[in-house]
Amino acid sequence: FKEESVVDEHTFWLDFGATNPNLSDQSDTAVYQQQILEIIDRIQLHEVNKVVLSRPSHLYTERADAQATFAALQERYSNCTVFALKHPDFGHWMGASPEVLFEEIDGGYRSMSLAGTRLSGALNWGDKEREEQNFVTKEIYKTLDNFGGHVRTQGEETLNAGPVEHLMTWVVTDAMNAPAVEVLEALHPTPAICGTPTAPAREVIESVEHYDRGLYTGYLAFMTGGLHATVLLRTMQWSQSGITFYAGGGITKDSVPLNEWMETEYKISALKDAVQFK
Residue 4 falls inside a structural domain = no
For residue 54, CA distances in Å to 49, 108, 121, 206, 263 come to: 17, 33, 24, 11, 11
Task: Give the tens place of pLDDT for each residue, 7-26.
Answer: 343 343 333 333 333 333 34
Average pLDDT over residues 254-264: 94
Residue 3 falls inside a structural domain = no
Cα separation, 274 vs 124, in Å, equals: 27
Cα separation, 42 vs 53, in Å, equals: 13
Work out how many domains the chain is built from and give that number: 1
Residue 97 falls inside a structural domain = yes
Q: How far is CA 97 from the centre of its chain?
A: 7
Range of the domain at 102: 9-273
Q: How far is CA 264 from the centre of its chain?
A: 12
Residue 108 falls inside a structural domain = yes
Contact 21, 211 (CB under 8 A): yes
Task: Give the tens place of pLDDT for each residue, 188-205.
Answer: 999 999 999 999 999 999
User: Where residue 161 sits, what CATH number does that domain have?
Assistant: 3.60.120.10
**Minimal CA–CA distance to 116: which of 249, 262, 219?**
249
Q: What dihedral angle (degrees, nearest 10) is formed by the CA atoms of 164, 169, 173, 178?
A: -30
Cis peptide upstream of residue 98 (ω within 30 degrees of 0): no
Residue 119 falls inside a structural domain = yes
**Looking at residue 27, what is its pLDDT?**
60
Cα separation, 63 vs 50, in Å, equals: 39
For residue 33, CA distances in Å to 86, 263, 264 come to: 33, 12, 11
Q: Which helix (H) or strand (E) holds 137?
A: helix 127-145
**Looking at residue 176, what is its pLDDT?**
85
CA dihedral over 61, 64, 69, 70, signed as positive or negative: positive
Task: Give the tens place of pLDDT for each residue, 54-85.
Answer: 999 999 998 999 999 999 999 999 989 999 99
Q: How far is CA 143 from the centre of its chain?
A: 18
Task: Give the tens place of pLDDT for each residue, 122-149.
Answer: 778 999 899 999 999 999 999 999 999 9
Residue 68 falls inside a structural domain = yes
